[in-house]
Structure 1
């Protein structure tokens, strides 16, 4: 009984998916971490209320959590 040579199922795509997932996690986590600084900039730029401006960062965090 001869053994067949091992063939990669994903042909290297798993490394690309891992790299893209890591970058996505790194960027989204970083943006969530500095969301308070962005809120100050949004308040100064658009002259809105604090309650209305906080929706920007809270929606971003909510969609990130919903997306997994």
Structure 2
């Protein structure tokens, strides 16, 4: 079998640096922030896993409107 791929290490490192130590915590914080800024965007843990994969692709337009700075 092949070696495991590192995935989107920058995304994972930034998530953890900001205090979201689990994908569930990030998804919940995203949902809370979206509501706070009046956006009806939501993401699942499955979507966070996709963003953390080695081929993450771009978030959909609705997800990109929620900027967590």
The TM-score, its normalising length taken from structure 2, stands at 0.30
Structure with larger Rg = 1
* Higher percent of residues as helix: 1
Higher relative contact order (CA 8 A, sep 6+): 2
